[in-house]
Amino acid sequence: MDLAIYSGYKVVLIDSMISARRKFIINNITLCTRGQLDLLLEISIETYRDTFIESNSEELMQQYLNDALTREKLAAELNDVDSSFYFIYWQEQVAGFLKVNKVGAQTDLKDDKSLEIERFYIRKAFLRQGLGKGLMTFACDLAKQANKEYVWLGVWEGNFPALHFYKSMGFYQIGSHPFDMGGDIQTDLVFKKEL
C-alpha cells in the first residue's frame, strides 16, 4: 500500500475514533434532578476541595464550603429556572458536573446574549480522559441551541490547569472580578468564547 494513502487512511480512522468518542461522551451527560441533590452536594464538595485545597488553608476551605456549598443553597440553585446542572458519566459513575446560568441567574455579566458556565468540574479519578472537552462541547452546544452568541466563565487566576484548558478550548480573558473564598478576597479572571 502507498504510504501516503495509508497515512491518510490512518488520519481518517483516528478522526473517526475521536468523533465517536466525543459522541459517546456527550451521550453520557444528563440533567441533574432534584432527587440527586445529595449526590450533587457530595461531588461539589469533593471537586472543589480537590481543586483548591493545596492553594488555601483548611480554615478558608471549610468557611467557603459552610457558606457556599450547603444543601439548602444547592437546593435553591436546582430550583432556579435560570440555572441547570448536568452530570457527566464515565463507566456508569458520575465523573463530573457542570452548572450553567441564563441571564436571570448569572453572577456577573448579566447578558441575555450569553450563557454563563458557573461551575465546571471533573473528578480527580476521571481527569485526562477527554471528559472535560466533551462537557465543554456540551455546554457550548446548549448555548448554541438557546441562540446565545457566547459563553463565559470565571476562573481563579491561580488555577493554572484550568486556565490552560479554557484557552485550549478557545476562551480568552475579557476582565476580572473579586471572589470571596471563605473571607479571603481572591481574583477570578472572566473568560469568554464566541460561538
Q: What is the pLDDT of residue 10?
A: 40
Residue ranges, the chain, pLDDT below 70: 1-27
CATH number corresponding to 3-194: 3.40.630.30
Q: What is the pLDDT of residue 13?
A: 41
> What does the radius of gyration of the chain's CA atoms come to, in whole angstroms?
18
Half-sphere exposure for 81 (CA within 13 Å, toward CB): 0
d(CA 58, CA 83): 29
Q: What is the pLDDT of residue 8?
A: 38
For the annotated catalytic residues, the residue numbers are 166
C-alpha cell at 17: 475514533
Residue (of 177, 172, 166) closest to 110 by Cα position: 177
Q: What is the pLDDT of residue 20?
A: 55
Domain residue limits, the chain: 3-194
Confirm if 111 and 74 have CB atoms less than 8 A apart: no
Q: What is the pLDDT of residue 37?
A: 97
